[in-house]
Chain A
């Protein structure tokens, strides 16, 4: 098994955008091409923590220019002869195959990635709610027999799970449909907000029921969002909720100017 691969269905495929840029964690077996003392292997791997330079490998899906990638942690779990087992937490777009190669260059021995398993993709980990294809086939047939939705819910999670690491902004019902139509989020609609939001932070905007409405880029920090009484606080990026889910409580210019009937 090669690990955590979140699969999003239908309308939820839009959340993939948020997952692609999220942090990853892997467990990797690296194979050295020559014998190297264990303490030296550990020291050199330790040096690959923090910000590293990396040129994507030849077989890569991005332009091959040197990029800076953040390595949050790199822990050696076991060294057995030329096999080195380690866990690495890294920024999206880090190539572990290339990391192993580069470690081999620094050691002077040469090295390659032998095995890789992803243990985290953003909020998804291998410990909670993970299912194999066999589980999916089995649970799906059980559901078809019984029509018990709880069986489907064992492996199909709400798309909100995929957005769990983004800072949250909760809005009142009256703001929801305008957001679904692509409007930016303005201060009066905000009910509550997460700490740690800065200008340009990617956030997710929710209803009071906890449904994700849209992905939005904050234009100011948390405290300012709390203080403001008017004006745009987050710019709409990607609408997740279909229009008309909540009632339309805003007016077009024409409607606003029309004479009031009684």
Chain B
């Protein structure tokens, strides 16, 4: 019988405290509250890629459309 390997995205983790600390609201920002243009600068788009153009071309279109300096895709979709 083949052993089944659990996929990494089903891993359940607990988060355990080591010490107590507070954060100074004067620095940084909660990720979902980043102002413009930081929200683009630290942003990711979950794109449903159309067939035809390459992953690279699609990333380049996004880059130009949003006027950002750089855009990279996470893994080529070979088809």
Contacts and interface: CB of A to CB of B under 8 A. Distances in A.
A120 B10 CA distance: 12
**Which of B2, B17, B44 lies at the interface centre, i.e. has the most chain A CB atoms within 10 A of its CB?**
B44
Contacts of A77: none
Q: How large is the interface on B (under 10, 10 to 19, 20 to 34, 35 or more residues)?
A: 35 or more
Interface in B1-45: 2-9, 11, 13-24, 27-32, 34-36, 39-45
Contacts of B50: 1-2, 132-133
A123 B9 contact: yes
B28 to A, nearest CB: 5
Q: Is the interface of B mostly helix, strand, loop or mixed?
A: loop
Given A136-B45, A211-B28, A70 B71 contact: no
Contact of A130 (B7, B48, B78): B48
Q: Is the interface of A mostly helix, strand, loop or mixed?
A: mixed
Contacts, number: 253
A232 interface: no
Contacts of A116: 77, 79
Given A50-B3, A122-B9, A156-B39, A13 B23 contact: no
Contacts of A126: 48
Q: How large is the interface on A (under 10, 10 to 19, 20 to 34, 35 or more residues)?
A: 35 or more
Give the 3 A-B residue pairs with the shortest CB-CB distance, closest first.
A19-B74, A158-B31, A208-B23
Interface of B: 2-9, 11, 13-24, 27-32, 34-36, 39-51, 55, 58-59, 61-63, 65-66, 68-79
